[in-house]
Amino acid sequence: MAEKSTIARPYAQAAFDLAQEKNDLKTWSDMLQLCAMIVRDEQVSRLIGNPGVSKGALVELILKVAGDNLNTVGRNFIRVLANNGRLNVLSEIESLYEQHRADAERRVDAEVISAFPLSDAQQQALAASLEKRLGREVRLTASTDESLIGGAIVRAGDLVIDGSVTGHLNKLAQALIA
């Protein structure tokens, strides 16, 4: 079977094109996030995988749970996914849609993992440096991992900067082995 991201790609692109055409990127983000959360629910997920449950029943369940949070086009999108047996890739559709949206808005989500907590000033300085380097708005999330010993690892899109002590020790070990 094809990978979920491969299956999800055309649906994410279609959702993005619709949202961009109506200048409604945020609404579509919210709708896709909600629907993805619904189908990730353990009970709903089991129903989606159950061949005894009709597509119509799945659509009605999702639309009922979503309530007024879906507009007419969003409801139709869910119907199309159900009719094509693609409700199981809604999480991937949401993820790919968000990538399209970030590209369109010239924004990137970045993650910094440091050995010790970063101050707000350090996080702001790092975000400013990344914005300058990437030419995009950066939304930074920070976490700590004591196993890094010191330094930090920064991930922003395809960019990975490993400035951790553990990373440097691993590189040194590889150089000595080679």
The answer on 94 and 30 residing in a single domain is: yes
The answer on 87 and 124 residing in a single domain is: no
Residues 87-96, mean pLDDT to the nearest whole number: 97
Determine the Cα–Cα distance for residues 45 and 87; give it in Å rounded to an integer: 9
Give alpha helix (H) positions in the chain: 4-21, 25-40, 42-48, 55-66, 72-83, 90-104, 120-134, 165-177
The predicted-structure confidence for 28-43, as pLDDT tens digits, reads as follows: 999 999 999 999 999 9
Give pLDDT, residue 1. Answer: 52
Determine the Cα–Cα distance for residues 19 and 85; give it in Å rounded to an integer: 22
The predicted-structure confidence for 148-168, as pLDDT tens digits, reads as follows: 999 999 999 889 999 999 999
DSSP output for 143-162: EE-GGG-SSEEEEETTEEEE
Number of compact structural domains in the chain: 2
The answer on 80 and 113 residing in a single domain is: no
The answer on 88 and 33 residing in a single domain is: yes
The answer on 36 and 95 residing in a single domain is: yes
Residue 106 in this model has a pLDDT that exceeds 60: yes
**What domain range includes position 111?**
107-177
The answer on 50 and 136 residing in a single domain is: no
Burial bucket for residue 152 (CB in 10 Å: 0-12, 13-18, 19+): buried
Among 102, 118, 135, the domain-final residue is 102
Query: Are 121 and 33 contacting, i.e. CB atoms less than 8 angstroms apart?
Result: no
pTM attached to this predicted model: 0.79
The answer on 86 and 149 residing in a single domain is: no
The predicted-structure confidence for 93-105, as pLDDT tens digits, reads as follows: 999 999 999 999 9
Q: For residue 19, what is the domain's CATH number?
A: 1.10.520.20
